[in-house]
Structure 1
Amino acid sequence: MGSNLTQLPPAPASLSESGAASWKSDIVSGFLVFLIAMPLCLGIAMASGFPPVAGILTAVVGGVLTTWMGSARLTIKGPAAGLIAIAIGAVQELGGGDMRLGYRRALATIAIAAVVQILFAVLRSGKLGDFFPSSVVHGMLAAIGVIIFSKQAHTLLGVTPQAKAPFALLAEIPQSLSRMNPEIALIGLVSLVLIFGHLFLSKRVAVLKRVPAPLLVLMAAVPMGLFFDLDHEHTFTWSQHVYTVGPSFLVNLPGNLLSAITFPDFSDVLSGVSLKYVAMFALVGSIESLLSAKAVDMLDPQKRRSDLDKDLLATGVGNLICGLLGGLPMISEIVRSSANITYGAKSRLSNFFHGLFLLLFVAFAPMLIHRIPLAALAAMLIFTGVRLASPSEFVKTFRIGAEQLVIFTFTLVVTLATDLLVGVAAGIALKTVVHLFNGAPMGSLFRPEIETHHGEGRVVLRVRHAAVFTNYLTIKKHLLQQSGATHVELDLSHARLVDHTTMERLHELEHEFAQQGRHFRILGLEQHRSLSEHPLAARKKPAGANLGLTS
């Protein structure tokens, strides 16, 4: 997307939309999102190998500071579960066993990655959100979900696992079940039942949709922690086994936010390992943030469109501040953003208020946060992980096409076996091979052959050979250049292959044209065979069909 779309008004004018008619709604939505964000920020930070307060710091920066820079009006910026795997990997690899050193060196990679994100924004790379294939992105997110589940299942049971890698952590779950700490596991299981029960019941009881599920979990878990006296280390006997509980099973916060500020260690920032994590933070963080901002735009009741380059700039600046002060990397986070819209947010002030409430709570009530059991945070993260890697994601992907499921699964498995960067690269490589197998000429993969035919108030663009994810950005550029035409048509009758990513992006573009009072239409798919019954499935022209390449 990016700046090729209709330009948004400058910040001072856009803030006028949040006057007396909307600021009250933004305070309410900001407060409700704060209730969701606080435990998630703590949990994400701890799962990432960072101090718990680092997650709060990131959300405060994302809300109080970057609100005034980004154009994505209804997004909530803060730490994301999708970056946990990268963050914990950076801490462990860069620290070489010293978690404190790894944390400070990880901060350095976050700061450098933030500079790269700022450079992306300056170079108007917001359009990169349209490049990555949907099946690869969803496979990556599913892998992140599995990684989160594999780590947090042990925390929920009150057990420290021996394994580090995702597959080994999954294999160790039965052993952790046999060694679980009964009191901690009870808190975790009750939290898990509450959060999944809320999901189930809120579909049937409308009023529950207004009650944040994390709030219900805290209302149960905190009293249970007090009942089990987790504030003081002690032992208890259960079924002839002696177990230890104490403050180590609770969130640990510093006395104040200023004392939590930690400066990065740049001593190892030019090493190969550091540069790998710089690339992963910059690329994966940018992709996730751009995709989330696009998804939130689709949910916006007013259907406003964001300048993704401007939003990426705000994210980069926010990440630079977080990296220099001890915070996690931030993105435009989809779960909190969708909740923000559900709770009635009208403008970007809701993001500001969510950050302000977090700042005030940490400043004036840190002891309340200290009462939160880690098992309750683990339950919330497991919920997030299960949603990312839900069996329904496999079913939805298969319905789009069997080849999409192969790419999705391949990306997931390679990511779990290696890391996110290798997994995404492997998924893209496999999708490219699938396109070649389905008849896309090698020469057209990156340079589509496009003819433009002008008429009175009407433009027809004809794409030859292939319209696939690798050349979609060029196709979109040609389409957006026709800003003076009321009617724009894309003729795909001469394309051997039109992939799912292109079909999905063209569908989004159709909505964007409609919001501008213009018409966009796709032509020439009558002779193509759909690879599934899904309306956005890939289309392939049979080998003997007329491509009309001489017309």
Structure 2
Amino acid sequence: MKNNSKLTLPKDGIEGLKENFSTDAVSGFIVFLLALPLSLGIAKASDFPPIMGLVTAIIGGIVVSFFMGSKLTIKGPAAGLIVIVAGAVAEFGGGETGWHLALGAMVVAGLVQILFGVFKLGKLADFFPLSAIHGMLAAIGLIIIAKQIPVLLDVDPAMTKGKGPIALLGSIPQFIMHLDPKATIIGAISLAIMLGWPFIKGPLKKVPAPLVVLIIAIPAELIMDFQHTEPAYALVHIGNLLENIKVNVDFGGVAQIGVFIKYVIMFALVGSLESLLTVKAIDMLDPYRRKSDTNRDLIAVGIGNTISAVLGGLPMISEVARSSSNVNNGAKTRWANFFHGFFILVFVLLASHLIELIPNTALAAMLITVGIKLAHPREFIHTFKIGREQLGIFLVTIFFTLFEDLLVGIAAGMLLKIIIHVYHGASVTALFKAPVVVSFTDDTYLVEIDRAAIFTNYLGIKSKLEAIPPGFKVIVDLKGTKLVDHSVMENLHHFEHDYTQSGGTVQLIGLDNHVPVSEHRLAARVNSALA
């Protein structure tokens, strides 16, 4: 195993471009092949003009790369925001009017994200319980699947109008009765490729699965002559990029102030959470163990979202699948993100006619695969193994997200977790503040935490931990806590990982009397001695 501390860090800026041009350009090209169809599909599923998904990816690559605080993440439209974007379009009146008015809320949300970064709220993700975040993402996955099944079957969009996710799932038998055989065959084959590709071995595995889908779906569509034998909704229609690039935002939605504020909060909050979680995950994959500046990254994403929304594009985040592919393909610097946007721009300008040969059923297959990953049964099993109370929070978040919306869902999950903490003995004052005493002796920092270490007070604990200089021995003593929840256990694990990379050591003590709620190593723990 390589000693990462001895690796020479890639240069940044223009010097980094010269030094890593070939690796970053190749990785950017491969990510472009992955991002192109997904960006189209996400835009279409969000009830935005499909070309706006590409506009978002172009801005996320070419513009945001110069501001971002992470080295290897890819910025672009996210499947996780489809539910919010489509909901905003619908509540603002639907169709083209709904699109223009939704953009107004997105511009304000982009400015809010910039302020998040300016006021150092890059640690925002640590405030929300992990089980509620994962429940929110699983609910989003289920909604994506529900909305894309009729597209996969190429049924008339009029059949799905006004139906929520539960009604869409209940209407599957009706959709099957009205499916289009030719288009559905392409969709089914595309879905089989997307689901089966991870099991492929050898050099072929390096070819992005969406590219394989397009290589098969476009010729199949041409052979079956979709342009003359199928309804217009069977194929993607994007139009001319230069004709679509203009100020598309309309702030008239402010008249519906309640709806406007709700979507500003959802765009800013959910987009920031997803982006920050991706940055944290990709930092752990970075072979050079570089730590991203999350505040700067939020500012960069906020700038990208503001520009994108003014021009008519979707909200963007640091997208996890494309970012993981970027790391796996050997990217060294943020120039890989720039190249991914550059290649999309070149392709749209020179070969947009090829995009309009893509069957919508193929794009639906790609999005259903994303939905399956978000709501995979292993997510439920993994959460249950951490603890039954975590599964309860996970399921409550899913339930309220499906039947209401994302804000209600994540609020319900957080409320249930607070109730569970109070049941386990956490005092009301301990919910929001944990006494933390830091002392220094010789080469050791002792961090003593009292009362409770839980998600609602972890930001205070984290600020004390982050103030400790690198390279020392750190002992975190939890014997004075009544309760340590799963979110804190996992965050302390991440702190140990990051601090060890800086040359120090971390030791957790004081948990001898704490009884874990499950056998999982990061399960919540209740202090039996203080019961």
Q: TM-score, normalised by structure 2?
A: 0.95
Deviations 1:343-373 (A, max 9, x none): 1111111100000000000011110000000
SS in 2 for 1:78: strand
SS at match of 2:12: helix
Matched, 1:378 2:343: no
Equivalent positions of 1:42-441 (< 5 A) are 42-95=40-93, 98-159=94-155, 160=157, 161-162=159-160, 163-201=162-200, 205-232=201-228, 234=229, 245-269=230-254, 271-441=257-427
Report the Cα distance in structure 2 between the residues aligned to 1:20 and 1:60, rounded to whole angstroms: 22
C-alpha displacement at 1:381, in angstroms?
0.1
Preserved contact between residue 153 and residue 361 of structure 2 (Cα < 8 Å): yes
Contact 1:104 1:262 in 2 (8 A): no
1:60-102 deviations in Å (ceiling 9; x for gaps): 000001101012110000000000000000000101xx41000
1:175: Cα distance to partner?
1.1
Tell me the residue number matched to 1:240: none
Kindly indicate whether residue 497 of structure 2 is the aligned counterpart of residue 511 of structure 1: yes
CA contact 2:446–2:477 (8 Å) conserved in 1: yes
Task: State the Cα distance separating 1:263 from its structure 2 match.
Answer: 1.3
RMSD of Structure 2 on Structure 1 (CA) = 1.5
Match of 2:3 in 1: none
Distance 1:504 1:13 in 2: 32
- Equivalent-residue separation in structure 1 for 2:471 and 2:196 (angstroms): 51
* Partner of residue 451, structure 1: 437
Partner secondary structure for residue 540 of structure 1: strand
Which of 255-264 and 284-293 deviates more? 255-264
1:483 to 450, 469, 472: 469
Which one has the bigger helix percentage?
2
Q: TM-score, normalised on structure 1?
A: 0.92
Give per-residue Cα distances to partners, 1:254-301, cap 9 Å, x unaligned.
Answer: 123343435111112251111110110000001111111111111111
CA distance in 1, matches of 2:69, 2:343: 22
Q: Deviations over 1:185-231 (max 9, x none)?
A: 11110101111111222xxx132331100011001110111112111
Overall identity of the aligned pairs, in %: 49
**Is the CA contact (8 Å cut-off) linking 1:194 and 1:217 kept in structure 2?**
yes
Deviation at 1:326, TM superposition (A): 0.6
Q: Which runs of 5+ in 1 are unaligned?
A: 1-11, 235-244
Determine if contact 2:11/2:19 at 8 Å carries over to the other structure. Answer: no
Q: Tell me the equivalent position of 1:498.
A: 484
- Asked if the contact 1:479/1:488 (under 8 Å) is kept, the reply is no
Which digits, 9 at most, give the CA deviation of each residue in 1:301-358, with x for residues without a partner? 1111100000000000000000100100000000000011111111111100000000
Aligned residue type for 2:417: K
Aligned 8 A contact 1:458 1:486 in 2: yes
Alignment match, 2:7: none
CA contact (8 A) 2:438 2:446 kept: yes
Letter in 1 for 2:169: L
Does the Cα contact within 8 Å between 1:401 and 1:532 map onto a contact in 2? yes
Matched residue, 2:6: none
- Cα deviation for residue 19 of structure 1 reads 4.4
Partners of 1:459 and 1:485 within 8 A in 2: no
Please name the residue that 1:527 is paired with: 513
Structure 2 spans left out of the alignment, 5+ residues: 1-9
Describe the SS at the equivalent of 1:536. coil
